[in-house]
Chains A and B, each alone.
Chain A
Amino acid sequence: MTTASISLRARVPRVRARPLAAAGRLLRLELRRNPMVWLLLPLGALMGFSPYQVSMEYAPVWNLRASVMLDHFLPLVAFGAGAAAWMGSREARRRTTDMVTTTPRPGWARKLATCAATTCWMLVAYACLVALLYGVTARQATWGGPVWWPVAVGGASLAVSCALGFAAGMFIPSRFTVPLAALAVGMAALMGVSHSTNPYALLSGADGIPPSDIGVFYRNPPDLAVIQLMFLIGLGIAAAGALGLPASSGGPWLRRSAAAVTVVGLAAAGTAVGLTGTASVRPTGVVIPALHDAAGDGPIGYTPACSGVVCIHPAFRAYLADLVTAFDPVLSEVAGLPGAPARADQIASSDAGDVGALISGSPAVFRFALPATSHSFIGDLDTTLVTLFIGGQPAAKGNGGTPAQQAVESGLLTAAGVQGADSAALSQASPAISHAAARFAALSRVARRTWLATYLPALRAGHITLVEVP
């Protein structure tokens, strides 16, 4: 009896002297016992499916792929919230609330350890996704380096969805909390996709897929990422603090501390919401005046990658050969005609207008922006070149211009050997236009150039009718 008492007395101070070690041990236990370990494999497979696979279908530009990854986060945050809600309701589900309340550790510390372990496993899966995505992008990218702001926002989104889901599971320990928490978090993420109607939806990480050249020609300001992080971290802190509010969480001072933490978190989130109200969306990104560093707004210097008469940004060097193959026949078809572009240069999408391309300068240059996806963009660009050359901006914005302009555009594209010259706009043309286009394409190259050299100004002005096309 005496020996036992001595033994107990000897142990108690040692445990109390190292509270962090005890918390670490608790976290280790939770990490080992967490069901997320078993969900890692299916979660990894789902992450490989989306967002990894989807991101890889875009050009190997760091900012672009990171943004696509964030834009496809909806199912992952919903999944994370559901898993955390499941863990949050564990004590009630197993009817062990009374039993664990008698343990020496405060309820808040116990719940935080469970929440942290669930979040850790989600973040491990996320880190693997980022490592894979960035590793492959590093091998493919021809310019720039990894961007970490979107990665931080993605991690914070996952952590916050876990904290909110856990709190929901703890406060409402029902079997329906899991799907409803997942649904609520998924809905909140989805609202970010439709941010055009509500500026506050910018706070969601999933704020749409940007232009392909984001952060390439102009620096992408980190203002929005900072605000999103402030909002998400604030929400996460508030949710973590809320776990300590119930009476079973600990003594009065602990609950007061939890209340203070909750208030601090809500204040941070509220500040982020307030700052978002001052945001202005510019072509280069979202600008928050209170955070913006105007010194970095200028263009980023680069040496273009050129081949023949086609020059593009080195970030898109992988597409240079395809672009040359696409542009060369079209440029040679119109070479020497009045106002015909002699070369093609890539420009920033923010400078390319609604059409995404323009012909300007003397001698004329076809300036184009690359679209966000690589799917069939080359076919679109050579069609745009011809449409701009014949019909100008109004024709490129509309359905290709007047019937005569459409026929000549289609005929030129066919003569240049462009695959699918009957593009979406031209394929809807009337049989008369198609017939005139075939007639024009069947002319000899010399005959076409002679006719264009004579009638191009009148054709551009819309004074040529369909029957006058040779």
Chain B
Amino acid sequence: MTIATGAPALPRAGLTRQAAGLRLVWLHLLSRRVPVALIALAVCGAVLRAALVWHWGPGSGNAALQLPALFEIGTAAVIAVTTYSPFGEPERATGRWLPWLRLGTALGLTAAAIGLLGAGAAGESLPGGILAIVRNVAGAAGIGLLLAAVIGGALAWIGPMAYLVIAEVALLQAWTSPWTWPARPPHDRGAAICAALVFAAGITITAVRGARDSAGD
């Protein structure tokens, strides 16, 4: 009897687990407002395209890199604020897969930001090209993710915005430090390593510990 009832139940249980897994992922993405984030990233890509087509930014020299840097760092700020969780402690206490969900969300959004900005710049002469987009978005997102672990996801936008100030000066004064990667050429190995380190640190800490719960502003 047990075998008879259990045998057909096995595939159904597997299906349920898979469906439950998908539902868990979907609910996690919803709780982080990922669909809205994707729309925001798409808007950034569209505005970048408009800015390139109608030449809204400075046209030559290092100043021309200000325009892509603004969008790359802006999208990083969007990624950073998705780490905010409305559930806090209960979610951490019950969510066994939470680190993997956080990791997947941050990686997926970073890839989406790179893809959407790249699509926005497709066919136009974007200073720095796609390599610079990959490096700058990843590095700035790493700063945002690191700050999310320190001061909370809702305020994590402060990190990329503060880095924007440094990047702007570095661009206009042609700094050579690899830590100011938006001012370095796209093939600069040191800048790529620095950005990758910051991204790896940010995504690891945020995935393992999550964004800090902030009670107030």
Contacts and interface: CB of A to CB of B under 8 A. Distances in A.
A387 B99 CA distance: 67
A37 to B, nearest CB: 10
Interface in B137-192: 154-155, 157-158, 160-162, 164-166, 168-169, 172-173
A187 B56 contact: yes
B165 A176 contact: no
Interface stretch (B66-74, B119-127, B128-136, B198-206): B66-74
A50 B165 contact: yes
B36 interface: yes
A458 to B, nearest CB: 39
B58 interface: yes
B56 to A, nearest CB: 5
Contact of A183 (B56, B57, B71): B71
Contact of B57 (A46, A53, A76, A190): A190
Given A82-B157, A178-B81, A179-B157, A186 B70 contact: yes
B81 A194 contact: no
Interface of A is mostly: helix
Contact of A35 (B44, B59, B71, B217): B217
Given A46-B165, A86-B217, A174 B157 contact: no
Contact of A178 (B44, B47, B77, B169): B77
Contacts of A76: 165
Query: Which of the four size classes fits the interface of chain B?
Result: 35 or more
A191 interface: yes
Given A42-B162, A193-B66, A74 B78 contact: no
Given A175-B154, A179-B81, A191 B168 contact: no
A197 interface: yes
Contacts of B160: 179
Contacts of A75: 161, 164-165, 168
B55 interface: yes
Contacts of B74: 179-180, 182-183, 186
A46 B167 CA distance: 11
Given A74-B66, A190-B66, A39 B58 contact: no
Contacts of A175: 33, 81-82, 84, 154
A460 interface: no
Given A49-B166, A82-B161, A176 B57 contact: no
Interface in A56-112: 72, 74-76, 78-79, 82, 86, 90, 93
Contacts of A53: 169
B25 interface: no
Contact of B56 (A46, A49, A194): A194
A54 interface: yes
A49 B180 CA distance: 14
Contacts, number: 110
B51 interface: yes
B59 A194 contact: yes
Interface in A133-188: 174-176, 178-180, 182-183, 186-187
A49 B166 CA distance: 7
B126 to A, nearest CB: 15
Nearest to B37: A176
Interface string A179-221: 1101100110011011001000000000000000000000000
A358 B182 CA distance: 39
Contact of B217 (A42, A90, A186, A187): A90
Contacts of A179: 40, 74, 77-78, 80-81, 157, 160-161
Nearest to A375: B173
Contact of B77 (A46, A54, A182): A182
Contacts of B63: 193
A53 B177 CA distance: 17
A193 B61 CA distance: 13
A193 B172 CA distance: 12
Nearest to A196: B59
Interface string B73-89: 01001101110100000
Contacts of A74: 66, 70, 168
Contacts of A182: 74, 77, 157, 161
A78 B58 CA distance: 17
B101 interface: no
A78 B33 contact: no
Contacts of B37: 176
Interface string A437-460: 000000000000000000000000
Given A175-B84, A190-B66, A78 B161 contact: yes
Nearest to A189: B70
A154 to B, nearest CB: 15
B21 to A, nearest CB: 26
A180 B78 CA distance: 8
A174 B33 contact: yes
Contacts of B43: 180
Contact of A186 (B164, B169, B172): B164
28 contacts: A42-B162, A46-B165, A46-B166, A54-B169, A54-B172, A74-B168, A75-B161, A75-B165, A76-B165, A78-B164, A82-B157, A82-B158, A82-B161, A86-B155, A175-B81, A175-B82, A176-B78, A178-B157, A179-B77, A179-B78, A179-B80, A182-B157, A183-B44, A187-B70, A190-B57, A193-B66, A194-B55, A194-B59
Given A72-B168, A74-B66, 7 more contacts: A78-B70, A86-B217, A175-B33, A175-B84, A179-B40, A187-B47, A193-B57
Interface of A: 35, 39, 42, 46, 49-50, 53-54, 72, 74-76, 78-79, 82, 86, 90, 93, 174-176, 178-180, 182-183, 186-187, 190-191, 193-194, 197
